[in-house]
Amino acid sequence: MEIEPELCRVEDALGILVGKWKPIILLHLLKEGTQRFSELKRSLPGITQKMLTKQLRELEEEDIIERVVYPQVPPKVEYSITEYGKTLEPILHAMHEWGTKHMLHKRKNY
């Protein structure tokens, strides 16, 4: 596959996926399925509530995840990955594989 550099859309894709938390959030939703905000928060030690909210909103704006609010007291909010978002699974898997190989490469060369 040959990509014309001036037509490359990698920057667009990275703009959606880049961040410390987004890939991890997506992997949790892919593996665990629908989760409540509190479940995601527990799964991501170190993330603040503000940052989790921000990352989830950005992913929702891109139609990568879906947010469902149930009209009850206290409010119940669930997040799940959309069908469109599921198309990222092979990309996340490839990035994981490359990251693993890269760490081994670095260890071997240093």
Least confident of 8-12, 46-50, 91-95, 103-107: 8-12
Is 59:25 a contact under the CB 8 Å cutoff?
yes
- How far is Cα 92 from Cα 17, in angstroms, rounded to an integer? 9
Which CATH number is 89's domain given? 1.10.10.10
Answer whether residue 67 shows pLDDT above 80. yes
DSSP three-state, residue 4: coil
CB 25 within 8 A of CB 17: no
| pLDDT in the model for residue 24 | 94
Neighbours of 60 (CB within 10 A): 15
pLDDT in tens, 5-57: 777 888 888 888 888 899 999 999 999 999 999 999 999 999 999 999 999 99
Pairing of strands 76-81, 65-70: antiparallel
- Domain count for the chain, please give it: 1
pLDDT at 11: 85
Q: Which domain holds residue 32?
A: 5-109
Q: What is the pLDDT of residue 1?
A: 65
Tell me the whole-structure pTM to 2 decimals. 0.86
Instruction: Report the alpha-carbon distance of residue 105 to residue 110 in Å, rounded.
Output: 9
